[in-house]
Each structure stands twice: as structure tokens, then as C-alpha cells.
A and B are shown apart, each in its own frame.
Chain A
Amino acid sequence: MTPFDFFVLSGLLFAVGLFGVIVRRNVISLFFSLELLLNSANVLLVGFSKLHGNLFGEVFVFFVLAVAAAEAAVGLAIVVALYRYRKSVNTEDFSLLRW
């Protein structure tokens, strides 16, 4: 278990999440991918915290968790409101403002 292993795990999670953000069209699946992106950053913060021997990275992970909870609450409220108007969660049905 070296710091490099944290880089590999974080990079894999970030790659999977970014792939999902680009490929998926379902808004809920996009949210899942966004959570994976946030988690990959958390993995690296914990790894650096353990590498440097101080706890500032883990405190920052705590803040990231709180922001992720706020993002999930507001994002889901927007998705539910949109679903009520359009009866759809597919991003291709939300192209009203597209140029």
C-alpha cells in the first residue's frame, strides 16, 4: 500500500465517472457519475493526508462530503421539478435552450 496505489484507485474512479458523464443520457445516471468524480477526489485527499502525516486532507474530505450532500439535495429537487413538467429525465428532451 503505497501513495501510488491511491493515485491508481483515484484515477480509475475518475475515468469511470467521466466516461459516465459523457456517455449516459439519463440525468440520474449523470448524478451517479458526478458522485464518483467527487469520491475520486476524496480518495486522493485521504492518500495525501496519510502521506504527509497531517489531517488537513481528511478535514477537507469532510467539507467535500457536506458539499456533495447539498449538491445532491438541490440537484434532485431540480430533476424532480423538471420531471413534473416534461415527464422525462433524458437530457435530449431538455434541449429547449439549445442554440
Chain B
Amino acid sequence: MREVFFYLFAFLSVAFAVISVTHKNVIKGGLALLSSFIALGAVYFTAGAEFIGIVQVIVYGGAIVVLYLFALMTMDLKSFGKEPLRALSLAVGGAVSLVLFVSVLYAGYRFYGGSLTAGISGAKEIALPLFYRFLLPFEVISVLLLVATVGAVAVGRREE
């Protein structure tokens, strides 16, 4: 059963990612990105990474994409204009991403047929390494978030 849901949600997340990248309308692209992130959270659930799945849905779906959509509301969508498709950039983009995809598959080929641990990692299991071994990075990340918040307000405020 886990396998079926893993493949289903993996397919959904890739399909919505393709829609979000290629759609002309930015709002619809953002909603497709939201769906892609939620499907990815479900993929983490099927892999047993419970806490990461929840955090993925809350942070990516609830905070980041909503932040993008709020910023889009302050802009005039009609002023965005057309994006002409250039054959050169399409060819370069397709070729580079294809090469990268093949190289990722090549790097992962030696893990073909291996097996994963079946354990479920909830908040309790994550807390142990997070608050003992990685306590200093955790504190540094909190300072980074504070700096980013102050910086975003400083950059975004109107000049008098």
C-alpha cells in the first residue's frame, strides 16, 4: 500500500511542478506549486518521515507559497505582459535539464535494488539529534531567520 501511494504522490508532485513552471498565469502556477508541495509532503509520509512531511506542508504550503501569493496581490497582474518563447532558451533549458537528470540517475544507479529502513521518524525521534548534536546550527538558524525578517522589512519599506 505504501508503494502505491508513494508512486501516486510522486507522479502528482512532478505533474504539478511541470504545470507550475510552464503555466502562463502566475497565480495558477502558484496554486500548482502549492499542490506539488503538498503531494511531496505526502511522499515523505509514505517514506516514514512523518515530521518532515508535516513541516513540509506547514512551511512550504502554508507559509512560503502563501507569501508569494500575497506579494502577487500587491502587483498589477495585467502589467506582467507576455513572455515570448525563444527557441534558443527552450533548447538550452531542455538540454541542460536532460543532462542533469541523466547524471542524477547515473549517480543513483548503484543504489538500485537496495532497501530502506521501515522506521517512522516523528517529532520525538527528530528532536534527539536536533537538540543534542545539532543544537548550535539550530540556534544559528534562528538568528538567520531574525536577520532575514529585519532585512525583508528594511528592503521592502517605502522611502519617505
Contacts and interface: CB of A to CB of B under 8 A. Distances in A.
A73 B152 contact: yes
A21 to B, nearest CB: 8
Contacts of A67: 141, 144
Q: Chain A contact residues: over half helix, strand or loop, or mixed?
A: helix
B47 to A, nearest CB: 6
A3 B97 contact: no
B80 A26 contact: yes
A88 to B, nearest CB: 7
Interface string B110-139: 011111110101000110111001100100
A3 to B, nearest CB: 4
B80 A3 contact: no
Interface in A61-99: 61-63, 65-74, 76-81, 83-84, 87-90
Nearest to B111: A3
A9 B10 contact: yes
Given A32-B33, A50-B117, A74-B152, A55 B43 contact: no
Interface string B70-101: 01101110011101010001101110111011
The CB with the most chain A CB atoms within 10 A, among B117, B148, B153, is that of B148
B129 A56 contact: yes
Contact of A16 (B97, B134, B145, B152): B97
Given A16-B17, A42-B40, 19 more contacts: A1-B116, A2-B111, A2-B113, A2-B115, A5-B6, A6-B47, A7-B104, A13-B17, A22-B92, A23-B85, A35-B64, A50-B117, A53-B119, A59-B126, A65-B55, A71-B148, A79-B71, A88-B81, A89-B80
Interface of A: 1-26, 28-29, 31-33, 35-36, 39, 42-43, 46-47, 49-51, 53-56, 58-59, 61-63, 65-74, 76-81, 83-84, 87-90
